[in-house]
Structures are given as C-alpha cells and as structure tokens.
C-alpha cells in the first residue's frame, strides 16, 4: 500500500491546476477520487488519469475524446465488443496523430525558411538606416 493519497490542494500544486478544474473533471466523469467524509482523496489511479488528461489536452483532444481514450488505459472488465470499438477509435486517433506529426514537420520547415527570410529583411532595414 503505497499510501500516496493526496488532497485536492496537493494535486493542484503538483499538476498546476485549480480545484475547480479537478471538480469539473470529476463532474465529467474523467476522474473519480475517493472520499474521506466529504473531502476528496486522489489515489494513484486518479493521479495517473489526471496526468493522461493533461497530456491529451496539450495535443488538442477535447475532454470528451480524452474520456474515451482513458477507457483504453483503464479497461477492467468490459465486454469485448465495447473494447474493440474503443480500440478501433484509438487506432484511428493514432493515424491522425501521425498525420499531424507529418504536417507539423513540414510546417516547421516552412516556418524556419520564413524566419530566415524575416531575419534577412530586418538586416536589410538595419543596413539602410545605418547608411543614411
């Protein structure tokens, strides 16, 4: 028993979110912390899920999409049909991510070229003004 249950405040500091955010995620059934009386206690599982949620957000997934992805990580005892559906969804998502990475690659490349051009432009401006 690794005894690492954290209060809401501890969670907020560790993951840099507000209490409201955590309660919001709970309302959306993304996390389900334990209760000690009234107070929420976030165990290991909740912490791991929150980490995944924040990861997902950084890649532009909506909370609803993230909720579905979480099912992949925490399967448990579902029926296979349901699982397969989730799995298929994940496969799609993965290919979307690869597609996105490809686009990101070319965008970065173009962007770097553009930046180089911008740098030259600024250099030109500076030269001109020095010459006056």
Partner DNA sequence: ACGTCTCTTTACGTTAACGTCATGGTCACC
Partner DNA sequence: GGTGACCATGACGTTAACGTAAAGAGACGT
Binding site for a second copy (CB under 8 A): 55, 58-60, 72-73, 75, 80, 83-84, 87, 90-91, 93-94, 97-98, 100-101, 103-105, 107-108, 111-112, 114-115, 118-119, 121-122, 125-126, 129
- Shortest spacing between CB 38 and a second copy, in angstroms: 35
Binding at 7: pick from DNA, a second copy, none (beta carbon under 5-8 Å per type): DNA
**16 lines the binding site for DNA (CB under 7 A):** no
Question: Binding to DNA (CB under 7 A): which residues in 19-58?
Answer: 19-21, 23-24, 37-40, 57
Decide: 92 and 74 in contact? Cβ < 8 Å: no
Q: What radius of gyration do the chain's Cα atoms show? A: 23
Where helices occur in 63-79 by DSSP H, the ranges are 63-73
DSSP letters for 23-46:
HHHHHTTS---EEETTEEEB-HHH
Residues 6 or more apart in contact with residue 61 via CB below 8 angstroms: 69
Place of tokens 């799995």: 87
Choose the stretch contacting DNA; rule: CB under 7 A; options: 61-69, 71-79, 104-112, 118-126. Answer: 61-69
Contacted entry of a second copy, DNA, none for residue 126, CB cut-off 5 to 8 Å set by kind: a second copy
């Amino acid at each position: 028993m690794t005894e690492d249950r954290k209060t809401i405040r501890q969670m907020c500091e560790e993951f840099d979110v507000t209490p409201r955010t955590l309660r919001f995620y709970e309302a959306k059934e993304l996390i389900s912390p334990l209760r000690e009386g009234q107070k929420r206690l976030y165990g290991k599982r909740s912490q791991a899920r929150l980490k995944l949620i924040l990861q997902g957000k950084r890649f532009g997934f909506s909370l609803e999409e993230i909720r579905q992805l979480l099912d992949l990580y925490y399967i448990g005892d579902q029926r296979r049909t349901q699982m397969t559906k989730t799995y298929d969804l994940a496969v799609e998502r993965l290919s979307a991510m690869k597609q996105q990475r490809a686009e990101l690659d070319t965008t970065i490349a173009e962007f770097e070229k553009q930046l180089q051009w911008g740098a030259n432009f600024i250099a030109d401006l500076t030269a001109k003004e020095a010459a006056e």
